[in-house]
Amino acid sequence: MKVILDVSSIYLPLSGIGRYTLELARHLPKQEGMAEIQYFQGGRVESGFNTDFEAIASVEARNSYRRFIKALLPNDLLLKPFRRWKAGRMGRQLKDYDSYIFHSPNYNLIPVSGKSVVTVHDLSVFRFSRFHPPDRVNYLRDSIHSSIERADLLVTDSDYVRSELLDLFGLVADSVVSIPLGVDERFGPRAANELAPTLDKYGLKGKKYALSVGTIEPRKNLHATLRAYRQLGKPLRRQYPLVLVGAHGWGSKSLAAEIRTLVNADELIYLDYVSEQDLPLIYAGATVFYYMSLYEGFGLPLLEAMRSGVPIVCSNSSALPEVCGGCALQVDPESESAMAAAMERSLTDNSWREQAVGAGLQRASAYSWERTASATVRAYASLVD
């Protein structure tokens, strides 16, 4: 089997899609049945791709193109012709590769002459358009519609999104396959002496803390999460400050005042973006992990927390119950009182935390990027059988 993997979404800092693409690039070449893999980046097909962090282009290296696209987003009269021109240009680069399967891991599938696969991670722009700026909604809806029409096979990260795709677009069942994501082996329980240097670096040494990781954006439901956390008694908040990790995304400005208030009260520690090297240690040092998203196509941070031996309180919406099973306290993300009650239990019920750690570690052991890559190759094979 010969495959071309589009690696254009790999740049630092890694998004969830960037992580998924990077792990495919690392693991696909080792899979049985993979005769050849090429990499599509910068409009070119290349025979090699260095997956070391040090070799991955920083976000600054691609900022000029990203700024250009961002500037075009609000202007359909310019954006649509540009996208058609760009898709045609890239398609011409692939005209001699019709014997290859082309895989786009990031929603947007360019026209190709051979077999093609596209990964659709979630359908929030259709289901919850309020979570995105209007120009992004228009752009992604158009991309997803076009990709569905072009693709020979669609991949989702969860059964939940697969069902959404089938229902929303009226697709036949065998045109969509669900392949769960994996989790990096760097995540895992750590001894206190291993944690100390990194926790000290972030002012967390010797602290007990609750942790939440994710981009600061409306979909993550952080307004409600912070209000629920503030319902806890002050002594409990002081004993377990909330550590928030994540860069600011669209719609995050209104959270700034709430974050400042909690930071000034010594009840919140905001770390912004944390490096790939440090993040597993921040997870491993946490007492509990909170993830109250209103909608997720998978929820990779849940896997990272479970593999780190950290008990979870999460919302019962979208794909999150599918990922964590019965290993977490699951709550209605629209009920702040239910979230607060679950938070309080997570910090005061030592017996539950001990049980949740064991159950989470066992569940996380069923997920790996090796399994994701192997299932992806089986999906490719279904197109050539």
Claim to verify: residue 65 and residue 172 sit in the same structural domain:
yes
The residues facing 272 across adjacent strands are: 245
Q: How many domains does the chain have?
A: 2
The side-by-side arrangement of strands in the sheet containing 329-331 is 268-272, 242-245, 210-213, 288-291, 312-315, 329-331
In a domain, 209, yes or no: yes
pLDDT tens, position by position, 77-102 = 555 665 555 555 566 668 788 999 99
Claim to verify: residue 60 and residue 32 sit in the same structural domain:
yes
Claim to verify: residue 355 and residue 374 sit in the same structural domain:
no
pLDDT tens, position by position, 187-241 = 999 999 999 999 999 999 889 999 999 988 899 999 999 999 999 999 999 999 9
Q: Cα–Cα distance between 5 and 107 in angstroms, integer?
A: 13
Q: Cα–Cα distance between 114 and 1 in angstroms, integer?
A: 13
Claim to verify: residue 170 and residue 22 sit in the same structural domain:
yes
Residue that the structure tokens 């019709």 belong to: 98
For residue 273, the model assigns a pLDDT of 86
For residue 314, the model assigns a pLDDT of 99
In a domain, 300, yes or no: yes
In a domain, 81, yes or no: yes
How is residue 365 annotated by DSSP?
T
CB 104 within 8 A of CB 119: yes
**Is 250 buried (19+), middle (13-18) or exposed (0-12) by CB count in 10 A?**
middle
**Is 385 buried (19+), middle (13-18) or exposed (0-12) by CB count in 10 A?**
exposed
Claim to verify: residue 49 and residue 72 sit in the same structural domain:
yes
Residue that the structure tokens 């490096």 belong to: 275
For residue 63, the model assigns a pLDDT of 47
* Confidence (pTM): 0.91
Claim to verify: residue 316 and residue 221 sit in the same structural domain:
yes
In a domain, 187, yes or no: no
Claim to verify: residue 178 and residue 237 sit in the same structural domain:
no
Average per-residue pLDDT in the chain? 91
Claim to verify: residue 173 and residue 48 sit in the same structural domain:
yes
pLDDT tens, position by position, 34-76 = 999 999 987 889 999 988 876 675 544 554 555 555 565 565 5
Claim to verify: residue 32 and residue 127 sit in the same structural domain:
yes
Show the domain range for 374. 2-182+369-381
For residue 80, the model assigns a pLDDT of 61
- Per DSSP bridges, beta strands 36-41 and 44-46 are antiparallel
Direct distance between the N- and C-terminal alpha carbons of the chain, in angstroms, rounded to an integer: 11
We report the CATH number of the domain holding residue 105 as 3.40.50.2000
Claim to verify: residue 85 and residue 168 sit in the same structural domain:
yes
Scanning 94-133, the segments in alpha helix (DSSP H) are 124-127
Residue scoring higher pLDDT (275 or 85): 275
High-pLDDT (> 70) share of the chain, %: 90
Claim to verify: residue 172 and residue 228 sit in the same structural domain:
no
3-state secondary structure of 40: strand
In a domain, 322, yes or no: yes
Q: Is the pLDDT of residue 254 over 70?
A: yes
Q: Is the pLDDT of residue 276 over 80?
A: yes
Residue scoring higher pLDDT (382 or 68): 382
H/E stretch holding 315 reads strand 312-315
Q: Phi then psi for 104, rounded to 5 degrees?
A: -100, 115
Lowest-confidence range among 85-89, 331-335, 341-345? 85-89
Lowest-confidence range among 5-19, 66-80, 129-143, 348-362? 66-80
Q: Is the peptide bond before 235 cis (omega within 30 degrees of 0)?
A: no
Give the pLDDT band of residue 272 (cuts 50, 70, 90).
Answer: confident
In a domain, 163, yes or no: yes
Q: Is the pLDDT of residue 333 over 90?
A: yes
Contacts of 179 (CB under 8 A, 6+ apart): 155, 156, 157, 372, 375, 376, 379
Q: Cα–Cα distance between 12 and 18 in angstroms, integer?
A: 8
In a domain, 199, yes or no: yes
Strand positions, DSSP E, the chain:
2-6, 36-41, 44-46, 101-104, 116-119, 153-156, 176-178, 210-213, 242-245, 268-272, 288-291, 312-315, 329-331
Claim to verify: residue 136 and residue 216 sit in the same structural domain:
no
In a domain, 245, yes or no: yes
